[in-house]
Chains A and B, each alone.
Chain A
Amino acid sequence: MNPYEIEIAKYERRLRAIEEKPSPTMLASNKLLYRAEMEENIEQLKAWREGKPFLAGAIMGEILRSFGDYHLVPLVGIADRLGSKRAEQYVDKVRAMGLPDYACDRTILFLPLAVMEGELPKPQIIVVSTGFCEVINDSHRTLARLLGVPVYGVDVPFEDPHQPHLDYVVKQLEGLIEWVEATLPGAKYDETRQVERQKYAHRFEAALHDIYKLRQHVPCPDHPRDVFREPTGPGGFTNPELITEYYESYRDELQERVKTGFVPVGEEKLRIVWAISGPYGSNIWDYLAERGVSVPYWHYGQAARNFFKPTYGDTTEFGRKLTPLEEGARQMMYNSWAGNGERWIKDTLFACQEFQADGLVIFEQTGCQPVLGLGQLTADRLEKEIGIPAWRIEGRMLLGRTERTEDEFMSGLEAFINLCFERKKSR
């Protein structure tokens, strides 16, 4: 089975399971998410079989979708969903290709898949960008060379947006438009299409903002497992409506939970913020829920932007309404792990305060360059400025996951949670 078929089967199973035995602690709106994901996979598989054109890019979908009816191969998402067993097979191939196996799992594992005929559609062009995870930028660039497809890069400065840098990114996006139209037969940039897409993005971000706001509530109305789910915006979907509805419905459900006092972890005894990544598919979230530990906030590169940075339509930052391309550019410039280290540390500390955390888990994903070396600095500042402990733990989301590493991780987590309880008592 190719990755699309595997995903479709997975979501069918999940939807069936929800129908047959809905979990009392998980969100009912997850059904919408699984449906949206399943439909997107069906859509992409169909398009691939019909020979329709695909693009790939480490850049916002809203822009790439403004050129026409193109499908986007979600390479990082595909790597995320490989599962540990397949991930181990693919990392062997990464080594055989002469590429670094110490890069973060999700940034490289798609490379062998994407170059193997019959596994994934070949994109006609690849667009890359710095300003978020640069390893993803580099691995997409590498893929373009491996596949022999044209690549365009947008260079995003690491400082917070200011007018000259906004102009710099906008000019590169204008260059992207010219390049795509010249490179991709039939492609024509349509601003109306981008504006339409941005409306969905705006709805998505507004709902997401409310979701984060609701998670601040004590006790937290969201289950740790749902919090640790990377939001995928409508830009990643051929049909944006259903996924946007999912986020709105998710928000409504959390609102209802707050109203009725439903807390998925039972009595909330502790709140921790989780940072960077985590071991996929492990039972940590259920373990935390069983111990009455909420995880109101998962902090990763884009999380702060989802919650407390200026969003679509904001006029306060530049004192005026931005053009569609400027809006796109601004979104590319706010990523917690694209700036200097202080940006990441400040955003982490801010989140811990805002979400009233009793502790912070820093899951230092092997090969995650954006946060390389910031763990101890963050932990020290957290202790000094907020007075809560941090647990730094290095691990991988997919690779090297043995029974022993899982046991070690769980016993470390248990010890840290115990510490947080003790510290909370003494505060």
Chain B
Amino acid sequence: MSWVAQVRAPVQRKLLVAFLLITLLFIAMGAFSLFTIREMSRQSELLDRAHQRLERAQEIHHSLAMQMHLTAMALLVRDEAAVASVLRENNRFNEALAQLEAAVEDPERVVIQKVRAGQEEAMVIVADIANLVRDGKIAAATQLHASREDPLYRSIDARVAEMVQRENAGMVSLRDGLRAAQQRSLVVMASFAAISVLLALGGGFVISWALIRPVYAAHGLLNELAGGRFGGTVTVPNRDELGELAARLSATSRELARLDAEQRCAAQELGALNAKLEQASKAKSEFLANMSHELRTPLNAILGFTEMLSDGLYGPVPPQYKEPLADIQTNGRHLLRLINDVLDLSKIEAGRMELAMEEYSAQEVVGMVRASLRSLAEEKGLDFKVEVDPGLPEVLRGDAKRIMQCLLNLAGNALKFTKRGGVTIRAARDGDCVRYSVSDTGIGIPTDQLAEVFAEFRQVDATVTREFGGTGLGLSITKKFVEMHGGRIWVESRLNEGSAFHFTIPLRSEIASTV
């Protein structure tokens, strides 16, 4: 059946051809029916004519019998008038004979002419008989009738009877032929119809199968593709649109398989790379942790000895040593802060910093920040206030230690950069968040540098670092802690008027993920 599929033609043309073939079949059947009907009517016309001929022949037969009868009657009643009746009957005879002659074929005409010749002879004899009867010579007339007329009539009658029989036989055979022809055409029509139906069904089946099979095959492949099994192909014998479709589908599947393999390969490579990176990152973090320990151990000794020296553990401290000793301590602590900040930042960046989410009170956190920095503010003669909005929930969620670290960074900076005026820490509700703000009346930040304040090791300029100290990492770490909480941080500032840093922590803060 695949030969239909293999035909190199569009599906539409195939369908058109199929329908055209079926239509032609039905037209042929119609033509055959018309032909049969015409043939039938011709045959029945023939039958009609045969019937008429038979009637004429029977009429002639009858007329002949009448003539014989009337002649016999004329002889019996010895009446010339009776003979006239014979002549009238003769007319009827002739008329029927002429009609019959017109209706028959040539061979039969010869017989009719013989009948006519006989009849004419008989009429001459009848005329003689009529004369004899008029003259009263009955015996002679009877003699004539018996010797001439009667045998003549009998021979004509025999011929006519034969003719009647022949016409009858012809008609019977014609009728039989007609019946047979009817039977035959019925059989032919029925077979024709049956064959047409079979052909139409068969053609429909073949064509629809040629269309449906590739659809099924494509369906199967699409199922495979949908199930994630790429690379299968469909092979169909079709050389039409469906064949093209199947070829495209196979190409798509192969392409998908190739992409899939490529993607798997890439994923594997990425996985391996990721594992390597993770390992590297872990190694880096471990290195930093070890490093910070190694750095901190001698620093611990430096700070320890310095403190004991300052405390007079080794004897009274000469006044001129006091300042350098204090400088050693200040710088030692600064180095410690740097080490801690670098460690924090590297842990955040390695994704190894985790928040310890707990319930805390903003009042407490802000209070502790104030307590830690109060002495610094007092030393510089600055106003240092904290304000907590009474509308703020008593219990908040977050990593209190880290939030405190953020506020210490911001407030520490604010105190550092402010020479006159003061610093204020506020905590207030801001939608679904708590907003912490640290504002000062300090030197401010130029507008073009506002965007960079949260970058690592960025202070407005190097001289600021020298004058005010600080690691340059505090804001960067603060930003990361805020983002880890799912909050955001921003700054507003006017040069020489002051700055305000704000950050938000969602009230229902869950760990947002590592930054």
Do A and B interact? no
Please give the residue numbers on chain B whose beta carbons come within 8 Å of chain A beta carbons, in ascending order. Answer: none
